[in-house]
A and B are shown apart, each in its own frame.
Chain A
C-alpha cells in the first residue's frame, strides 16, 4: 500500500509538467497578443513592441518556457499582468470561495442524491421511482445560468429571504457565510445531484439483483441490514467514482455560478485572466487547479481501497 501511494504520487510530477506545457502552448496559440490586449485600444504599434520585449515575449517560445519552468521550480510564478500582484497570492485568495462553493454544492448533491437514488431503487417502478427519475433528469438538463437567475428572482427579489449576490463574511458570523452560499450551491449542485441520484439508482438496482443479496434476504436477514451492509456498500464503489468526478465538473460549473452570483472565486479569476491574456496568471492558476484535481483523484483511489477489500488486495499483488 505504501509503495502504491509513493508510485501514485510520483506520477503527479509528469502530469503537472504536461498540464503546464499544454496551457503554455495554448496561451501562445490563441490569437490576441497579451501586450495589445493589456495596453488597450489606444496603444500604438511601437508601444506594443516595447511592452512585448519588456515581458520577454520576443524570445523564442522554447526559451520562454524554459525560463518559466525554471522560475516555477523555485516557487516564483511571476506577477499577474493585469493585477500587478503575485500570481500565487491572487490564486490563494480565491481558493476558499471556490472550495466553499464546490464542496457545499457537492454536499447538497450527496445528501440529497444518494438517499433519493436508494429510495428510487428500492421502490423500483413505483410512483416514487418515476418522480425521482424525472426530477433528476430535470436537474441534469437545467442550465446553471438560468436556474441561478430563477433562484435569485424567487428567493432574493420576491421573498427577500436570502441575499442575491456576493460572499458573506466570517466577521459577520457563520450564518452570514451560510446564507450567501445557499443559492449558489443549490444552483451549482443541482446538476451533480441529478447525476448522483441516477447513478446511485442504477448501481443499487444492479447490486440488488445479485445472488448474494437474494441469499441474504433468503436467510431472513433484516431488510435494512441487507440494504446497507450488503447492497449499498458494494454499490458505493462506482458512486464514489462519480462523486469524485463530479468535483471536476463542479469546478467547471463554478465559473458560471461565480459569474451569476458575483462570487470572488477561481472561475471568475480564470475567465478574466484568459480574456485579458494574463498568461502568467492563467498558467499559475491552471497548475493549482490541476494539482487539486489530481489530489482529489488520488483520494478517491485510496477511498476505493478502504471501501473494497478486493481492490486493496490487488495493490498487494502489484508488488
Chain B
C-alpha cells in the first residue's frame, strides 16, 4: 500500500515536472531548402507551399504526424455510402475562421465546404478534387459530396492542403492579393513574408480548439542543403527539412542536434519506354533487370544509409507494401543478361539513353546502372537535365529510360494509379507509356473497394503484374532525414516530408 502511494506521488511529480517543462510560448525556427510560392490552397503545386499553409489552413480530415491514420479536423464524423460514391460529412459546430478584413472570425458551415471545394475544382490549375461530381449542403453543418465514380482513397485526397476550407468573403474581397493576406481556420496567422528569405507566424490566440505551444514560428528558406545543415549546427534553425547523406554524421556528432530518419513514402526507379525504341522488346528489358544488382544501388548512392534498396513501386511506408515483391522477377544474373541480348539480336552491343533530373542521387543511380550495364554490352548514356526540360522530355515518351522519383501518401493508389494506369500515359508518372489492361483493372478494383484488406490484394496484384512486365526497374527508397535541435520536443518526422508543428496528436514545444 505504501509502495503504491509512493509510486503515485512519483508519477504525479513526474507528470507535474513534465507539464512545467513545456514553454507555453515556445519559439521555433524551421529551415527548409525550398521556397513557398503561394499561400492560396487552391493554387499551390509544391511541397514548400503546402508546408507553410498547414499552419494557417485546415482540412476536413488530417493525417497524424506519423502519417499512419486520418483523424477528424474540421469534420466531426462521416458516413460513406456502400458504393463509395456519396461521402457525407458532419462538421464540428465550433470551428471559426481567423479574423480578417472582410469577416469577423465567423463560424464555419457546410456552405464554406461547398464553396471551397467548388473553387478548388474550378480555379485550381492543378485540377485537384477532379473526382468530385457535386457538393450538396444538407444542413448548416452537414455536407454531402457526390463523386463521379467510386473512389476509395477520397479521404486521403481530403487531407491535402489543396482541399482546405477557406472563407469566401476574404477570397473575393482580396482577389489576387489573397495570397498575401491568407485567412483560414488554422492555429497560426502569417505576420511577415519576405520572399526567398523567411516567413513568420504568430499563434492565433482565438483559435477554435486547443492552442499550439509554439507562439512564434519562423520558416527560413535556405536553398542549399549543405548550408541548411550549417544553419542547424550553428543554432540558426531548430528543425531542418532535409539532411544530405554526407552530412548525417556531422549532425549526429553535434551535442545539440539529432538526425532523425524515417522510411519515406517514395520510390526512385528507372522507367523504361514501352512505346518506342529497343526497350519495347521484353528480352531487352529482362536483360537490363538481370544485368543490374539492385542491392548495390542504394549502397553506392547512400553510403551513410539514408536510402534503402527498392524492389517494387509501393514503398515500405505504405500499408500495401509487399515484402515479397522481389520474388516477382528474376534476380541479378549478368550471364543470363548477355544471353538474352544475343537472342534479341544485340550481340554486338546496344546503345540506350537514360534521362535524369539534376537531383544528385538520381544521377548517381544512373551512373551505377551505366557501369553495370556496360559489363553485359549495353552502352547507357546518362543525360542529366534541369527539371523543366526533364519533365518535358520524359512525359511525352521521348526517353528510352528515365529516372523517375515519386513521393506521396501511404495509400497505394497514389503510386499505382499515377504511374501505371493507362489513362496516365502522357504524364510524367507514366512517361514510359505503359499500358496493361489487367493492371488497369486491378487498380480500378482497388479504387472502388471499401475494404482495406481487399484493396491490399488488388494493388499487390497490379504491382506483381507491373514487375513481371519489367518496365519499371526499382532503384531505392529514400529515407526522410531531418535535423532537429534537442530543445525541440514532441516533434515527429513525417514520411511525407511535411513538417508538422501542430497536427492531430502533435503539439511541438520547447522547454
Q: Is residue A231 contacting chain B, with contact meaning CB distance below 8 A?
A: no
> By the criterion CB–CB under 8 Å, are A149 and B236 in contact?
no
CB distance from A257 to the nearest CB of B (A): 11
Partner of A167, one of B194, B389, B427: B194
CB distance from B235 to the nearest CB of A (A): 9
> By the criterion CB–CB under 8 Å, are B427 and A31 in contact?
no
CB-CB contacts below 8 Å: A44-81 with B? 44-45, 47, 51, 79
CB distance from B369 to the nearest CB of A (A): 22
Partner of A44, one of B180, B233, B385, B427: B427
Q: Which chain B residues lie closer than 8 Å to A90 at the CB level?
A: 195
Contact with A along B162-202 (1 / 0, CB 8 A): 00000000000000100110000000000000111110000
Q: Is residue A39 contacting chain B, with contact meaning CB distance below 8 A?
A: yes
Q: Which chain B residues lie closer than 8 Å to A32 at the CB level?
A: 387-392
> By the criterion CB–CB under 8 Å, are B45 and A83 in contact?
no
Q: Is residue B223 contacting chain A, with contact meaning CB distance below 8 A?
A: yes
> By the criterion CB–CB under 8 Å, are B427 and A43 in contact?
yes
Q: Which chain B residues lie closer than 8 Å to A277 at the CB level?
A: 388
Give Cα distance in the complex from A111 to B324, angstroms.
68
Give Cα distance in the complex from A265 to B194, angstroms.
11
Contact with A along B216-233 (1 / 0, CB 8 A): 000011111011001101
5 closest Cβ contacts across the A-B interface?
Answer: A32-B388, A264-B196, A264-B197, A41-B428, A32-B392
Q: Which chain A residues lie closer than 8 Å to B423 at the CB level?
A: 44
> By the criterion CB–CB under 8 Å, are B230 and A42 in contact?
no
Partner of A31, one of B127, B198, B222, B389: B389
> By the criterion CB–CB under 8 Å, are A165 and B388 in contact?
no
Partner of B126, one of A31, A40, A93, A260: A40
Partner of A37, one of B38, B231, B233, B387: B387
Q: Is residue A242 contacting chain B, with contact meaning CB distance below 8 A?
A: no
Interface size on B, residues (CB 8 A): 48
Q: Is residue A15 contacting chain B, with contact meaning CB distance below 8 A?
A: no
Contact with B along A265-300 (1 / 0, CB 8 A): 100110010011100000000000000000000000
Q: Is residue A5 contacting chain B, with contact meaning CB distance below 8 A?
A: no
Q: Is residue A157 contacting chain B, with contact meaning CB distance below 8 A?
A: yes
CB distance from A40 to the nearest CB of B (A): 4
Q: Which chain A residues lie closer than 8 Å to B234 at the CB level?
A: 156-157, 160, 164
Q: Is residue B40 contacting chain A, with contact meaning CB distance below 8 A?
A: yes
Q: Which chain B residues lie closer than 8 Å to A47 at the CB level?
A: 125-127
Q: Is residue B156 contacting chain A, with contact meaning CB distance below 8 A?
A: no
Contact with A along B366-398 (1 / 0, CB 8 A): 000000000000000000011111111101000
> By the criterion CB–CB under 8 Å, are A42 and B427 in contact?
yes
Partner of A166, one of B40, B46, B198, B226: B198
> By the criterion CB–CB under 8 Å, are B393 and A262 in contact?
no
What are 11 of the A-B contact pairs (CB < 8 Å)? A32-B387, A32-B390, A36-B395, A39-B125, A43-B427, A44-B426, A84-B176, A93-B195, A157-B233, A272-B196, A276-B388
> By the criterion CB–CB under 8 Å, are A152 and B230 in contact?
yes
Q: Is residue A30 contacting chain B, with contact meaning CB distance below 8 A?
A: yes
Q: Who on chain A is nearest to B398 by CB?
A: A31
Interface size class of A (residues with CB under 8 A): 35 or more
Contact with B along A153-168 (1 / 0, CB 8 A): 1001100100111110
Q: Which chain A residues lie closer than 8 Å to B429 at the CB level?
A: 41-42
Q: Who on chain A is nearest to B33 by CB?
A: A262
Q: Is residue B43 contacting chain A, with contact meaning CB distance below 8 A?
A: yes
> By the criterion CB–CB under 8 Å, are A163 and B236 in contact?
yes
Q: Which chain B residues lie closer than 8 Å to A165 at the CB level?
A: 220, 222, 227, 230-231, 236
Q: Is residue B35 contacting chain A, with contact meaning CB distance below 8 A?
A: yes
Contacts A83-B195, A149-B230 given; indicate if A259 touches B391 (C-beta within 8 A): no
Contact with B along A235-277 (1 / 0, CB 8 A): 0000000000000000000000011111111001100100111
Contacts A41-B427, A268-B223 given; indicate if A164 touches B230 (C-beta within 8 A): yes
Q: Who on chain A is nearest to B180 by CB?
A: A85
Q: Who on chain B is nearest to A262 by CB?
A: B222
Q: Which chain B residues lie closer than 8 Å to A30 at the CB level?
A: 388-389
CB distance from A57 to the nearest CB of B (A): 13
CB distance from A74 to the nearest CB of B (A): 19
> By the criterion CB–CB under 8 Å, are A262 and B427 in contact?
no
Give Cα distance in the complex from A44 to B390, angstroms.
16
> By the criterion CB–CB under 8 Å, are A39 and B196 in contact?
no
Partner of A265, one of B196, B236, B388: B196
Q: Who on chain A is nearest to B127 by CB?
A: A47
Q: Who on chain B is nearest to A86 by CB?
A: B176
Q: Is residue A38 contacting chain B, with contact meaning CB distance below 8 A?
A: yes
> By the criterion CB–CB under 8 Å, are A83 and B38 in contact?
yes
Q: Is residue A33 contacting chain B, with contact meaning CB distance below 8 A?
A: yes
Contacts A157-B234, A164-B230 given; indicate if A263 touches B197 (C-beta within 8 A): yes
> By the criterion CB–CB under 8 Å, are A85 and B391 in contact?
no
Q: Which chain B residues lie closer than 8 Å to A21 at the CB level?
A: none
CB distance from A236 to the nearest CB of B (A): 37
CB distance from A148 to the nearest CB of B (A): 8
> By the criterion CB–CB under 8 Å, are B224 and A272 in contact?
no
Q: Which chain A residues lie closer than 8 Å to B224 at the CB level?
A: 259-260, 262
Partner of B196, one of A156, A269, A275, A276: A269
Q: Who on chain A is nearest to B393 by CB?
A: A31
CB-CB contacts below 8 Å: B30-78 with A? 35, 37-38, 40, 43, 45-46
> By the criterion CB–CB under 8 Å, are B389 and A260 in contact?
no
CB distance from A126 to the nearest CB of B (A): 40
Q: Is residue B329 contacting chain A, with contact meaning CB distance below 8 A?
A: no
Give Cα distance in the complex from A272 to B406, angstroms.
21
CB distance from B20 to the nearest CB of A (A): 31
